[in-house]
Amino acid sequence: MIGETTLKKPGLVPETLWDIEHYKEVGLYFYLEATKDILPNGRVNVENHGEMIMLGSYSYLGLIGHPEINAAAKAAVDHYGTGTHGVRLLAGSLKLHNELEDRIAQFKQTEAAITFSSGYVTNLATISSLLRKGDTVICDKLNHASIVDGCLLAMAKFVRFRHNDMDHLERRLQEAGGNGRKLVIADSVFSMDGDIINLPEMVRLCRKYGAYLMIDEAHSIGVLGETGHGIEEHFDLPPDSIDIKMGTLSKAIPSAGGYVAGKKELVQFLKHEARAFIFSAAIPPGSAGAAKAAFDVIEAEPWRVKKLQDNYDHFAGRLRQAGFDLLYTETAIVPVVCGSTDRAALLAKHCQDRGIFVQAVVAPVVPEGQARLRACVSAAHCIEDINYCADTIIEGGRQLGIIR
Write down the catalytic residue from 245, 251, 292, 381. 251
191 part of the active site:
yes
- The partner residues of 137 in beta bridges, in order of sequence, read 158, 183
Say whether the peptide bond before residue 364 is cis (omega within 30 degrees of 0). Answer: yes
Residue 376 is which amino acid?
C
What gap in Å lies between CA 363 and CA 73, rounded to an integer?
38
340 part of the active site:
no
Question: Which residues are within 8 A (CB) of 289 and not within 5 positions of it... i.e. 6 or more apart?
Answer: 72, 73, 75, 76, 77, 96
Radius of gyration of the CA atoms of the chain, in A? 22
What gap in Å lies between CA 182 and CA 137, rounded to an integer?
6
Residue 373 is which amino acid?
L
Write down the catalytic residue from 118, 128, 191, 220. 191
9 part of the active site:
no
What gap in Å lies between CA 350 and CA 55, rounded to an integer?
14
Write down the catalytic residue from 97, 108, 219, 349. 219
| Start-to-end Cα distance in the chain | 71
β-strand pairing of 112-116 with 50-54 = unpaired
Catalytic residue numbers read 191, 219, 251
